[in-house]
Amino acid sequence: MENIGLTESEIIYWDKVSRSEFIEEPGCYKKCASFCCRWDTPEMPFRIIPKGGTLFYLPKEYAYLKAYGKVADAAPYSMEARFGADKPPVRVYYRHCADDSGCNRDFSRSLFCKLYPFLPVFDMDGELTDVKYISVYDVTAEFAGFETPCFVKSMKDKYKALWREGGGGAALLREPYVLFHLMAAALLHDNYTQNLKSGSSLASLKGPEFWKRWEKEYLSGSLIDKGAFSEALSALYGKFTEKYKISL
């Protein structure tokens, strides 16, 4: 795990994020038994992927929470996307999480958890262009025609309007380091969605059979076109660093 030092302004920024909410549906978990943190349904008979959610952290966010917030004792895993020898990799930390009873008491929720179920998509100028689903399960469920008990997912238009008008913590989401990662996540979303629709043999399957096959394809990495993602990331990084100063 990298040793990341934060500047004073980064500490102030992540402190604001840690005290903010981005989706304002208090108590929504009472209506679905925290479905998004459990994904516990016979529809999804995974063999390898454990039941539960994934807690993602951006590296600077994790550095902040480790120093000033709460994180689990075990260090998270790190995954990275490389897109050129002369450019820094984009890294995301993650760990399996199915413990909504410990959430915010034993460990802090991350920005990505606070955005669930939405991924706000901004352009380079910080204008909101779209709202997509942030979880690969939800993106896949929509493709498979599987309805989850999350009623917040039907509120895309509400959050589109809110973030466009600058509410819902929009200013925090436009901070360049986070903006870059949200734009990178949108590229990954689109790459995945395209492969899911065009390249896989999943379309003919339904219900548990679908999810069983999906698990295999997903874990094999065949649902991401890594070359195309790396190119798109490289183009984004090039344009982004012309406009903003960021250190990944």
Q: Which is nearer to ligand SF4, 98 or 124 (CB)?
A: 98
By CB under 6 A, tell whether 151 contacts ligand SF4: yes
Q: Which is nearer to ligand SF4, 103 or 184 (CB)?
A: 103
Minimum Å gap between C-beta 63 and ligand SF4 is: 17
Q: Which is nearer to ligand SF4, 102 or 238 (CB)?
A: 102
Minimum Å gap between C-beta 39 and ligand SF4 is: 9
Minimum Å gap between C-beta 85 and ligand SF4 is: 35
Q: Which of 4, 6, 28, 224 touches ligand SF4 (CB under 6 A)?
A: 28
Q: Looking at this protein, which amino acid is placed at residue 188?
A: L
Q: Which of 99, 190, 225, 231 touches ligand SF4 (CB under 6 A)?
A: 99
Distances (CA, A) of 153 to 40, 135, 201: 18, 11, 27
By CB under 6 A, tell whether 146 contacts ligand SF4: no
- Would you say the C-alpha torsion 204, 205, 207, 210 has a positive or negative sign? negative
Question: Alpha-carbon distance 111 to 61, whole Å?
Answer: 8
Q: Which of 10, 14, 37, 138 touches ligand SF4 (CB under 6 A)?
A: 37
By CB under 6 A, tell whether 53 contacts ligand SF4: yes
Contact 185, 119 (CB under 8 A): yes
Cis amide leading into 117 (omega within 30): yes
Q: Which is nearer to ligand SF4, 72 or 124 (CB)?
A: 72
Contact 10, 125 (CB under 8 A): no
Q: Which stretch binds ligand SF4 (CB under 6 A): 63-71, 111-119, 137-145, 210-218?
A: 111-119
- Would you say the C-alpha torsion 139, 29, 45, 205 has a positive or negative sign? negative
Tokens of 41: 């349904």
By CB under 6 A, tell whether 210 contacts ligand SF4: no
By CB under 6 A, tell whether 109 contacts ligand SF4: yes
Contact 163, 131 (CB under 8 A): yes
What interhelical angle do 226-243 and 176-198 show, nearest 10? 160
By CB under 6 A, tell whether 178 contacts ligand SF4: no
The DSSP result for 69-131, as a single string, is: S---SSPPEEEEE---TTSPPEEEEEEEE--TTTBTTTBPPPHHHHHTTEEEEE-TTS-EEEE
Q: Which is nearer to ligand SF4, 29 or 146 (CB)?
A: 29
Q: Which residues bind ligand SF4 (CB under 6 A)?
A: 28-29, 31-32, 34-37, 53, 55, 97, 99-100, 103, 109, 113, 116-117, 150-152
